[in-house]
Amino acid sequence: MGGSNCVLVIQKQLFFSDVNPQASRLLIPFSQVESHEFLNESEVERLKNKEAIKACLVEPSMEETEINFKWWDMRKNS
């Protein structure tokens, strides 16, 4: 992927919905993100345009997994 600036985005307990193969997603609540400065302007624009960004997920075993990072608006309508 060519990245050189590793940043801790979130560290969380995984729930069934995070590891369910049918869901194919890992929920990252905005309020739990360690730093919101981990994307550059180009990446933010791509996410706003509903495009995926290839990212590296570091497993607890320190194994690296390539993922497709997408932004989903999860706000609840009242």
Number of residues in the chain = 78
What mean pLDDT do residues 25-51 have? 86
In contact, 52 and 68? CB cutoff 8 Å:
yes
Q: Number of C-alpha atoms within 13 angstroms, CB side, residue 26?
A: 18
Using CA atoms, how far apart are residues 42 and 48, in angstroms rounded to an integer?
A: 10
Residue 74 lies in a domain: no
Residue 2 lies in a domain: no
Residue 36 lies in a domain: yes
Residue 6 lies in a domain: no
What are 55's strand-pairing partners? 67
Residue 10 lies in a domain: no
* Number of independent structural domains in the chain: 1
Using CA atoms, how far apart are residues 19 and 26, in angstroms rounded to an integer?
A: 7
Q: What is the pTM assigned to this prediction?
A: 0.66
Q: Which domain holds residue 62?
A: 16-69
Residue 9 lies in a domain: no
Residue 77 lies in a domain: no
pLDDT at 52: 93
